[in-house]
A = this chain, B = another copy of it.
């Protein structure tokens, strides 16, 4: 699996996206994450491992705790890839705009 595979796959799960949404308001420990999700700590830990492998979170050591926070790496990598698609879609729209503009002009020019 490349990093793009891992990152997109990490984002395809609703629980993992909910964990990321929670982390937008600040870092959290496994215990803090387990409570609102009504999941066991091992289940949350498994999701966190997938998010970490996808470059979407990082963890730091704070005594016995390992709080998680959002990481920029995964998002940056998929953004770069999505950029190519976005550019192609914009070019298509620009082309469509030209076609429509020509059709409108032709209609107006009709006697």
- Report A's interface with B, CB cutoff 8 A: 2, 4-5, 8-9, 11-14, 17, 20-21, 23-25, 69-70, 72, 75, 78-79, 81-82, 84-89, 92-93
Contact = CB atoms under 8 A, between A and B. Distances in A.
A69 B91 CA distance: 13
Contacts of A89: 70, 72, 75
Q: Summarize A's interface: helix, strand, loop or mixed.
A: helix
A7 B86 CA distance: 15
Contacts of A79: 82
Q: How many copies of the chain does the oligomer comprise?
A: 2
A7 to B, nearest CB: 8
Nearest to A2: B14
